[in-house]
Amino acid sequence: MATDHFPVEAGHIILFARSIGDSNPIYHDAGAAAETEPGHVIPPPTFVQASAQFTDGYNLRPVIGQPWFGSGKEPTGIQRESTGGGGGGTGFHAEQHYEYHAPVKPGDVLKAVDKPGKSWSREGRRGGSLQFSESITEYYNQDGALVVTARSVGVQTSRVVE
């Protein structure tokens, strides 16, 4: 998910690590992290997915003042546009792959650049016909170094997955 400005913040790393149930001190204790091999707080391996917080127009985050397709007291009936890849739109996240090139630490400001991937389709056993689409995101730090490459595969199903 592309963004020009993904600030890697210590508090955000703490919240993310809590949410995946990971109590490793390297994610929340700078003093303990200083004694580790990396020598500083690092984010968990899947943290860069949280760049969604900083992606303009990300369609799975409510926009202030605009209708949202989740429910209020009752379903709103609001439809959303379908998009491929990364669990967005009406689709599902089918695969996620990361390559780690260089360390990430609090204070880094990452830039995420999306690159087009492949598309393909097949008949599924659980969800009818399946349309797959791949997207590749490269994360660069403030020094221009490639730190993480992410490859996401999204799938659009023709009916509810059973």
Give the chain's end-to-end CA distance (angstroms, integer).
28
Footprint (CB under 8 A) of other proteins, residues 86-125 = 87, 92-100, 103
Q: Is 128 in the site for other proteins (CB under 8 A)?
A: no
C-beta of 76 vs 142, nearer to other proteins: 76
Q: Give the whole-angstrom CA distance, residue 160 versus residue 158.
A: 7
C-beta of 7 vs 103, nearer to other proteins: 103
Q: Is 147 in the site for other proteins (CB under 8 A)?
A: no
Phi, psi for 32 (deg, rounded to 5): -65, -40
Q: Give the whole-angstrom CA distance, residue 37 versus residue 62.
A: 39
Q: Is 137 in the site for other proteins (CB under 8 A)?
A: no
What residues contact 73, with CB distance under 8 A and at least 6 apart? none
What residues make contact with other proteins under the rule CB under 8 A? 12, 15-16, 18-22, 24, 26, 36-38, 42, 44-46, 49-54, 58, 60-62, 69-71, 74-75, 87, 92-100, 103, 151, 160-161
